Amino acid sequence: MYFNKKNNFFHGIMFHHFHDNLKHKKSQGSISKEDFCKIIKFIGRENIINADLFQKKLKDNNLKKNEVCFTFDDSVKSQIDIALPVLEEFKIKSFFFVYSSIFENQPDNLEFFRYFRMNYFENIDEFYNNFYKILDRDLSNFFEEKISIIQEKKIKFPYYSIEDIKFRLVRDQFLSKKEYEKSMFEMMKRKKFDPETVKSKIFFNKEDVINLSKLGHSIGLHSHSHPTSFKELNQEDQEKEYKKNLYILAKILNKKEDEIKCMSHPCGSYNKYTLKVLKDLGIEIGFKQIMNIESDKGMLKINNSPLEIARQDHAEIIRRINE
């Protein structure tokens, strides 16, 4: 069972993408409605606490070690289309962490790239081949240099293929973000894919946020523009990111800013200053995305502070169910 496998502390469960193979195709790390129901059964409905109660119990120092809550990051529409009906059926009120640049016509390109990769190619290898063709750079030395890193990653992330790992290294290390995006946009142009046409299919709109809140789910911060390495931002930018995020969400929900008190760290990235910014904004509960203690970051315990609550990834739970 779930809690006998070392999860003997309260935490969040982290969800991202869902698929139904109709409107939302299966993609890396996505789960189906059936998988989602299996996860609820595996954890045990009685162990899943509503978001507002979880937040209150944390404040009162009252959470039991078998209690978890559900959290949804990144404001992706498949959560509304596939997960929300299940949540309502099981009466599980959850946290939804919403980054706000999507409401200003500047969503992170990551989701568009993901959609493009999944919908415009027969399979992932065809995508990689196309990408390298357009990039047209000699990568043999780079891969040679990285050979031990590739092997290490394969052990750490067994569900990634070698090609997946190589692609990520090229994207994140060989290329700058700008160079990577340039190649992706070139590919999209050649395949006549216009991101604007699928925006509403990929992301929440304002009504989705309002509706979730009306249904009793908790809406929280996830930064304004979703930087992948938040801790690298200077103090001023960190402050801007969360202030703008809070301002926009409060406006959409027609709430006072101090009524929003929860958040999750984009890509799990933060530093001491981030925690100060969040505290100053009145945030009471924050989630990271790991389930271990990182002593090099000064963490002393698993749920290191109210703004550093551990979360288990849904993919890991599926892996355990199938074990």
| Contacts (Cβ under 8 Å, ≥6 apart) of 109 | 181, 184, 195
- Smallest gap from Cβ 154 to Zn ion, in A, equals 25
Here the tokens at position 191 are 């395949």
- Smallest gap from Cβ 98 to Zn ion, in A, equals 10
CB-wise, 7 or 71, nearer to Zn ion?
A: 71
CB-wise, 107 or 266, nearer to Zn ion?
A: 266
Task: Find the binding residues for Zn ion in span 214-273 (CB under 5 A).
Answer: 266
- Report if residue 208 touches Zn ion, rule: CB under 5 A: no
Q: Which residues of 200-239 are buried (b: 16+ CB within 10 A; e: fewer)?
A: eebbbbeebbeebbeeebbbbbbbbbbbeebbebeeeebb
- Smallest gap from Cβ 111 to Zn ion, in A, equals 10
CB-wise, 227 or 266, nearer to Zn ion?
A: 266
The span from the CA of 150 to the CA of 166, in Å, is: 7
**The dihedral formed by the CA atoms of 156, 160, 164 and 165, expressed in degrees to the nearest 10:** 10
- Smallest gap from Cβ 74 to Zn ion, in A, equals 4
CB-wise, 11 or 226, nearer to Zn ion?
A: 226
Here the tokens at position 76 are 């992706």
Q: Give the count of beta carbons closer than 10 Å to the beta carbon of residue 282.
A: 12
- Smallest gap from Cβ 266 to Zn ion, in A, equals 4
Task: Find the binding residues for Zn ion in span 57-96 (CB under 5 A).
Answer: 73-74
Helix (DSSP H) and strand (DSSP E) numbers for the chain = 15, 7
Number of residues that bind Zn ion (CB under 5 A): 3
Pair 258, 279: CB distance under 8 Å: no
CB-wise, 2 or 220, nearer to Zn ion?
A: 220
Q: Which residues sit at the interface with Zn ion, rule CB under 5 A?
A: 73-74, 266
